[in-house]
Amino acid sequence: MSDSADVVEGLRKRYGDVEALAGIDFEVQRGTVFGLLGPNGAGKTTAIRVLATVLLPDAGRAEVLGHDVVKQADAVRRRIGLAGQFAAVDPNLTGRENLRLVGVLSQMRRPEIMPRADELLRRFDLADAADRPLRTYSGGMRRRLDIAASLVPRPPVLFLDEPTTGLDLTSRNELWEMIHELVRDGTTVLLTTQYLEEADRLAGRIAVVDDGRVIANDAPDRLKSQLGSTVVELGIRGDGRAERAVGLLSGRIGGRVEREGELLRITSDQGAHVLVEVLRVLETDGLEPDTLTVREPSLDDVFLALTGHHAEDASDADGKGDAA
Amino acid sequence: MSSTPVSVPLDTSRDRRIPFAPVRDTMAIAQRNLIAYIRVPQLLVFSTIQPVIFVLMFRYVFGGAIDTGPIPYVDYLMPGIFVQTVVFGAIAAAIGLAADVKSGLMERFHALPMARSAVLAGRTIADLVRNVLVVILMMVVGFLVGWRIHTNVLALIGAALLVLLFGYAMSWIFSTLGLAVKDPESAQAAAFPILAPLVFASSAFVRVESMPGWLQVFAEHQPVSATASAVRALTIGGPTAEYVWQAIAWDVGILLVFAPIAVRLYRRAV
């Protein structure tokens, strides 16, 4: 059997005039976490929906554990868990009833369902709320139950569409930890995210998606080294001063310098050291920045580096694809 | 396109079939929809208190002013009430399915290895079960306000079954609506313009002869009137068979048209 849990080849999907997937390709190795990174409307959700047999592709091929998502949809459905962008739970059922419903509909045998539901409720810290209707849950609790629901039948392949959107920091870190645990136990995870940090923390490999295409597909470290691990942003106001600063810095520091108006962006893989260099060089000409930010690269920086344009939010363009 | 033949045995333990899986799936969905009636007070009020208010209002407020000839108004009214109750109740299918699409629950269902028919079958069966209870309740209320059967128990049971069949057909119309609009508020808004003419421009509460001529044409040829007339024939007496067959023909026609549309919309509803 092939080492790939998911294979996507030349997948296309169009909503009216908008091409949500314009021939997307990627493979996910078994037992790994694969991140689809891109802005709203890039086609991430559409790709996941095709893999999860929810949407039919217009062209191309997608397989999950060797089963074709169109011709063998039922076999695919017996092997996947899906947690979509919104908590897909029944607000009138209790947490336990929601998990039981998913267990029954996942074709599990009755005696297996309740112990599994209890186990998941404990693991997601929902045991105390297990018998309350979902209407009374907070947003974070709903999200956790939604992810728990996707795990009821112990799926070997898990799809998580922006799993941490709407979660507070604590819940987010817990979920990250949970994903690491699942992968340790052999689950393959395909997740989408708009945050480079999240993809970096979780995924062994990242595909950057733009306009329905994969524009980069690499290990996070390699992506970041192409990109630089530190971004320094300097605001230098005043007539031509920013331009003068670019002239001074170019070639004299270990990093790439870009200017947008009065904003200088320096990307470097030398960590904070670059900051000292930059300030020293500027001082030789008596230039002092008005504002200063040092941060990790963001999705937007990835896009600038890969495409030369900002990560545009194209949520309207994708129709229901990523917006819903 | 390279299609690698699957030469290595795949893990097939997950492909075991559970006996009667489609029935089990449908019952699970029906149960889930019935639980909503118990937990959401508005749904329960809408499907019980509201028809009771209609009975009291028409029986004691408007009834005196409505001429139904030799038939006591309460005997004329109650068949209309049964029919009106199941039509109004059918809105729950539109709102419920639209909410399931909007919440993403439908997306989850599509990704589960469940019977494709279970969501719609479970939805309409839940509403059928609710209708059984509501029709029984309305009969009790009817007896309390003076409604009398002039035929026999078998005819009464036949009348109840006819009302339930009509309600089931209505569930498919409103399921189609809910899946088409995909938003519970819009579903509710869109439902009223459909059901208001059906229920009020009909023989449910007043005789069609009292309406202007142009309205009579519509009122005489629509399923609410057909079902109300058949239920009246079964509970008051007189020629019956023609009315009953007409009502059944409407229900079969509605099911033949709307069930395939609803199924198509369901397959595409994400």
A273 vs B242, more confident: B242
**Which residue segments constitute the domains of chain A, with CATH numbers given?**
4-224 (3.40.50.300), 230-295 (3.30.70.980)
Q: Give mean pLDDT, residues A143-151.
A: 94
Q: How far apart are CA A93 and CA A101, in angstroms?
A: 9
Residue A315: band (very low, low, confident or very high) from pLDDT cuts 50, 70, 90: very low
All residues of chain B having their beta carbon less than 8 Å from the beta carbon of residue A74 are 15, 113
pLDDT of res. B4: 45
| Residue B161, CA distances (Å) to A177, B121, B222 in order | 56, 19, 19
The proportion of chain A whose per-residue pLDDT surpasses 70, expressed as a percent, equals 95
Read off the tokens for B106. Answer: 């439908």
In this structure, are residues B178 and B98 in contact, taking their beta carbons and an 8 Å threshold?
yes
Cβ contact, residue pair B270, A55, below 8 Å: yes
Residue of B nearest to A1 (CA): B8
Question: What pLDDT, in 10s, does the model give residues B16-27?
Answer: 888 899 999 999
pLDDT at B10 over 70: no
Per the structure block, which two tokens stand in for A34?
Answer: 């694969």
CB distance B107–A54 less than 8 Å? yes
Of all residues in chain B, what percent carry a pLDDT higher than 90? Answer: 81
- How far is B249 from chain A, CA to nearest CA, in Å? 35
| Partners of residue B112 in chain A, C-beta under 8 Å | 77, 102, 105-106
Of A49, A87, A102, the CB nearest to B270: A49
What is chain B's mean pLDDT, rounded? 92
Q: How far apart are CA A107 and CA A155, in angstroms?
A: 12
Gap between the Cα atoms of A222 and A207, Å rounded = 12
A249-293 confidence digits (pLDDT tens): 888 888 888 888 889 988 887 777 888 888 889 888 888 899 998
| Structure confidence by residue, pLDDT tens digits, B158-216 | 999 999 999 999 999 999 999 999 999 999 999 999 999 999 999 999 999 999 999 99
Does this model's pTM top 0.90? My answer is no
Q: Is A203 helix (H, G, I), strand (E, B) or coil?
A: coil
Does B243 reach chain A within 8 Å, measured CB to CB? no
- Residue B7 reports pLDDT greater than 80: no
pLDDT tens figures, A6-35 = 999 999 999 888 899 999 999 999 999 999
